[in-house]
Structure 1
Amino acid sequence: MVSIDIDASLFWQIGNFLLLLVALNYLLYRPIRGILRQRAEKVAQLNGDITSSEEGAKAKAAELEANLVQARRDGAEVREEIKNQGHGTEREIIDAATAEMEQTVANVREEIVGEIGQARQDLKGQVQSFGQELAQKLLGRSLQ
C-alpha cells in the first residue's frame, strides 16, 4: 500500500506549485487575456463602424431616391413645357398656313371671277356672230 508522508517536500511542492501559478499568470495568462480584451474591443469598434456605415449608406440611398424623384418631376415639367411650346408653335404654323391658304383661295377666286368676266365679255361680243351663224345653219342660207 501507498502511504503519504507529510514532510518538508510537500511544502516545497506546494511552494513550487504556487510559484508556477504566479509565473504562469504573469507570463502567459495576463498577456492572453489582454490580447483577448483588445480583440473584443476591436470587434466592438468594427461592429460600430459597420452599423454607422450601413446607416450612412441607407441615408445616401434615401437621398439618391429623393433626388431621382425630384429629377423625374423636373423632367416631366420640362417635357410638358416643351410640349406646350410645340403646341403653340404648331398653332402658329397652322394659323400662318391657313392665312396663306385663304389668301391664295381669295386670289384664285379673283382670277376666276376676272376670267369669267372676260369670258362673258368675249361671249357677248361673239353672240351676234354666233346668232347669225346659227340662223344661217337653221335656214340653210346666208342672211346678208
Structure 2
Amino acid sequence: MVENMPVVSIDSTLFWQMINFLIIIYIFKRYFFKPMGKFLDKRQELIKKELEEAKNNLAKSEKAKKDAEETLKSARKEANDLLLSVERKAEDRKDSILKETYAQRDKMIKSGEAEVIKMREQARKEIEKYVRDIATDLAEKLIADKTQADLIDEAINKVGEE
C-alpha cells in the first residue's frame, strides 16, 4: 500500500475534473435548474392561487352557512307564527261552532217550549170542548128529565083537578 500519497494532488487530472464539474454544473443549470425553477415557480403560483381560492371558498361557505342558519331561523319563526295563527283560527272556529250550536239548541228549546204551549192549549181546548159536550149532554138529559117530570107533574095535576 501506498503510504505517502497526498490527500489532494494537484496535477492535470484535477484540472480536467474541475472543468468537467463546471461543465456539468453549467449543463444542469441551463437544462435542469432553469426549467425546474420555472416549473417550481409555476407550481408555487398555482399553490398560491389555490390557497387564495380555498380561503375565498371558505369565506363563501361560512357566509353561506350563516345565510342558511338565518334562513332556517326565519323559516322556523314563520312556521311558529303560522302554527300560532292556525291555532288561533281553530280556536275561533271552535268558538263560532259552539256559539252556533248553543244558538241552535236555544232555538230548539224555544221551539219545543212553543210546541208544548201549543199542545197544552190544544189539549185545553179539547178538554173544554169535551166538558162543554158533556155539559150539553147533561143539560139535555136534565132538561129531558125535567120535561118528563113536568109532564108527569102536569099529568098528575090534571088528574088531580079532574
**TM-score normalised by the shorter chain: which range applies?**
0.7 to 0.9
CA distance in structure 1 between the aligned counterparts of 2:17 and 2:93, rounded to whole angstroms = 109
CA distance in structure 2 between the aligned counterparts of 1:10 and 1:65, rounded to whole angstroms = 75
Q: 1:119 to 1:5 in 2, by over 3 A?
A: closer
CA distance in structure 1 between the aligned counterparts of 2:10 and 2:19, rounded to whole angstroms = 17
CA distance in structure 1 between the aligned counterparts of 2:11 and 2:88, rounded to whole angstroms = 111
2:80 is the alignment partner of 1:81: no
Q: 1:51 to 1:81 in 2, by over 3 A?
A: same
Which of residues 34, 43, 50 is equivalent to 2:47? Answer: 43
Task: Show structure 1 runs of 4+ deviating over 6 A.
Answer: none
Cross-structure match for 2:30: 26
Which structure: larger Rg?
2
Cross-structure match for 2:20: 16
Q: 1:13 to 1:111 in 2, by over 3 A?
A: closer
Identity among equivalent positions (%) equals 17
**TM-score, structure 1 length as denominator?**
0.72
RMSD (CA atoms): 2.9
CA-CA distance at 1:51 after TM superposition? 2.6
SS in 2 for 1:108: helix
Which of residues 106, 114, 119 is equivalent to 2:118? Answer: 114
CA distance in structure 2 between the aligned counterparts of 1:64 and 1:88, rounded to whole angstroms = 35
Cross-structure match for 1:72: 76
Note the residue ranges of structure 2 that are not aligned, 5 or more in a row: 138-144, 146-162
- Aligned ranges for residues 120-139 of structure 1 at < 5 Å? 120-127=124-131, 129=134
2:49 is the alignment partner of 1:6: no
Further displaced range: 108-117 or 29-38: 29-38
SS in 1 for 2:21: helix
CA-CA distance at 1:70 after TM superposition? 0.5
Aligned length: 132
CA-CA distance at 1:72 after TM superposition? 1.4
CA-CA distance at 1:48 after TM superposition? 2.4
CA-CA distance at 1:27 after TM superposition? 1.5
2:36 is the alignment partner of 1:60: no
**TM-score, structure 2 length as denominator?**
0.65
